[in-house]
Structure 1
Amino acid sequence: MRPPGGTGCHPCGQALGAVKRRRKAKIGAHVMAAGLGGRQAHRPVQRCVYGRARSVPACGACGEEFVMAPIGLTPGNDASGAVQETALRDGFVVCHGRLGDWARAAAGPSAPGLLGADWPRYLATREPAARARLLGSRLLLRRAVAAVSGVAPDRVRLGRDGWGRPVVHEPAGLDAGISHTAGVLVVGVALGRRIGVDVEARQRPLLAPGLAERFCHAEELAELRELPSGERNARLVRLWTLKEAYAKALGVGLAYDFRLLRPRPEPHGEGWVLGRISAEWRLRCDGVERFLVASALGPQRQAQQTSQ
């Protein structure tokens, strides 16, 4: 699955051929070079979102929706249309922004209402950088949730669960994730399924002796030894970011034993899968400037309940 302007096959493994996607084209304007035979390969499917039926493009072979790269947001620009369109089409959206911009926009008399139950935590936090992260990330998440749901930002109610994971109390039916590093904020919002996000600097040093053995699967360690030395750190950063996004989606974070996870690239796309341990989960890792942004998307909750 490629971002707008790229080409590629759908990761379900079907021979869909080359799909040219244009950034300004309408959804569904896919040109097939070869494969299942014309436009039926990418058909719209109906999903009920906030009481209204929506048509979203999906793979005609497996029914999986297309996925887009993270959307950059600033407090001053209104990208709510693009955010909502992406969420309704793909089932989720990932947004990123600069910490300084969002922290400044969140400061002021509205901060207690923005943080809600986290306001005492904010007052107890002495470090200015930690306060800025708390304020900025909540404002960015509230803006993303409002855009996805189509409600006014002041109607969004956020909180945290017992693990410290963000919770969307209002509007109902949404899941959320937050991550930050080195002045960058990332949030994810999903419709009816779990989502986790993580952001790391591409050049984060992870080649310290013994560190890879603490979070890599045995097969990953063997593959690392076969890589040229100049490529090993980049592989480690990508693996760490993918695994942490998944652990954050579960709500356990670093308490999870990352050595049990073995993310593998999908055969014909840019997504990642976890195999038997979590067969229905889909992961993705995108480059945003000098950072990597990973997202982990769980199965539809309705499908989970049906299978049980």
Structure 2
Amino acid sequence: MRKVAEPEAAAFASPVRSTGPAASWEPVRRAVEEHGSVLVHARLGDWTPPDLEAPGLVRLLGEDHARCRTMTHRGIKARFIASRLLLKHVACAAVGATPEAVELAYRPGGRPYLRGPGRIDISLSHTEDLLLVGLTRRGWIGVDAEAKDRPMLGLGTDAQVCTPHERRMLARIAQERRNGALVRLWTLKEAYSKAIGQGMRFRFTQFGFGPQDRNPSVLRPDGTRGTGDEWTFHTCVVDRAYTVSVALFDAALAEQRSRHD
């Protein structure tokens, strides 16, 4: 498990690996209790039921089961079921409920949220064999994951998703590390846009990050800072194969700052 460097430790615990529904959920409960947030990653195979048509899934998936029944591609269906089961188990560990009692709903644009429990925000991402869930009691959270060696350089990606400041900073990075830096920027932008509920509707060329910042913050296109301390960001590598980023908005801190402005 990868340690999170200070000063981010107050906001994030080390990512928690889940090996399946029967594994201990104490690390998740402890992370939420101590940090107010948790990041959980898992492998698709550990969360895919042997029988995708098992009767018990009706109760576990709730309203999502009707959506699941319309899926004809086995791979898509398996990923949908596995990701929702993981999301529900993480949520129930945080709120002290059973997976059957946790109800998922979706905002316009497809962002999932929990019905009922107050002040809990969730985010979901998946890529290849990885499932990723973020949960917070602090305010808003967004997570994203990509294969750390996903080819992005030389495909025009930097021109499509980077601000002028980011492109200048990327040009100063050694060629062999530049693609990894671009993957990191992509996941940070995805995580932030999910946290604010915009998804891909917020043009990635309109905000940025420092490609090598230790404690990143949102930057305007010219490189000046665009957010305050109420936002915390973190990037790490899980399973030695995936770059994972999380964006966290601390609602209490934002309210405190607004009272003093």
- TM tier, shorter chain? 0.7 to 0.9
231, 243, 249: which is aligned to 1:292?
243
The residue aligned with 1:129 is 75
The answer as to 2:227 corresponding to 1:281 is no
| CA distance in structure 1 between the partners assigned to 2:171 and 2:79 by the alignment | 37
Tell me which amino acid in the other structure corresponds to 1:297.
L
Q: Give the structure 1 partner of residue 124 of structure 2.
A: 178
1:194-214 deviation per Cα after TM superposition (whole angstroms, max 9, x unaligned) = 111111000111013322111
In 2, Cα distance between equivalents of 1:146 and 1:227: 43
- Whether the 8 Å CA contact 1:71–1:96 is kept in 2: the answer is yes
The 3-state SS of whatever aligns with 2:146 is strand
Deviation of the 1:120 alpha carbon: 2.7
Give the 3 Å change call, closer, same or farther, for CA 261–97 of structure 1 in structure 2: same
Range with greater deviation from structure 2 (180-189 or 273-282): 273-282
Q: How does 1:1-308 map to 2 (within 5 A)?
A: 4=3, 9-10=6-7, 65-104=10-49, 107=52, 108-264=54-210, 270-275=214-219, 276-279=225-228, 280-289=230-239, 290-300=241-251, 303-304=254-255, 307=258
Q: Judge conservation of contact 1:158–1:170 (CA < 8 Å) in 2.
A: no
> Are 1:157 and 1:171, in contact at CA under 8 Å, matched by a contact in 2?
no
The 8 Å contact of residues 184 and 211 in structure 2, kept in 1 or not, is answered as no
- Structure 2 vs 1, CA of residues 121 and 9 (structure 1 numbering), >3 Å: closer, same or farther? closer
Counting aligned pairs with the same residue, the percent is 33
Q: Which residue of 2 is the match for residue 50 of structure 1?
A: none
- How far apart are 1:248 and its partner, in Å? 1.2
For residues 192-246 of structure 1, the C-alpha deviation after alignment (integer angstroms, 9 at most, x for no partner) is 4111111100011101332211101111111222222211100100000111011
> TM-score, normalising length from structure 2?
0.86
SS at match of 1:274: coil
Give how far 1:3 is off. 5.0
Task: Give yes or no for contact 2:141–2:247 (8 Å, CA) kept in 1.
Answer: yes
Determine which structure has more spread, i.e. the larger CA radius of gyration.
Answer: 1
CA distance in 1, matches of 2:51, 2:254: 38
Q: 2:57 & 2:105 partners in 1: Cα distance?
A: 14
Shift of 1:94: 0.6
Residues 184 and 209 of structure 1, relative CA distance in 2, 3 Å threshold: closer
Deviation of 1:284 (Å): 0.8
Query: Relative to structure 1, is the Cα distance of residues 299 and 9 closer, same or farther in structure 2, using a 3 angstrom cutoff?
Result: closer
SS of 1:277 mapped into structure 2: coil
Q: Aligned equivalents of 1:294 and 1:260: distance in 2?
A: 19
How large is the RMSD of aligned CA atoms in angstroms? 2.5
Task: Kindly provide the amino acid, as one letter, of the partner of residue 237 in structure 1.
Answer: V
Q: TM-score scaled by structure 1?
A: 0.74
SS at match of 1:273: coil
Specify whether residues 224 and 247 from structure 1 end up closer, same or farther in structure 2 by C-alpha distance, changes over 3 A only. Answer: same
Most deviating of 173-182 and 246-255: 246-255
Give the CA deviation at 1:303.
4.3
Q: 1:77 to 1:206 in 2, by over 3 A?
A: same
CA deviations on 1:170-197 (whole Å, 9 max, x unpaired) are: 3332110000010110001110411111
Cα 1:73–1:292, aligned 2, differ >3 Å: closer, same or farther? same
- 1:93 is matched by which residue type in structure 2? V
> How many angstroms apart in 2 are the aligned matches of 1:150 and 1:115?
18
- Distance (Å, rounded) in 2 between the aligned partners of 1:283 and 1:116: 33
Q: CA deviation at 1:301?
A: 5.5
Structure 1 unmatched runs, 5+? 12-57, 59-64
Give structure 2 stretches of 5+ with no counterpart: 220-224
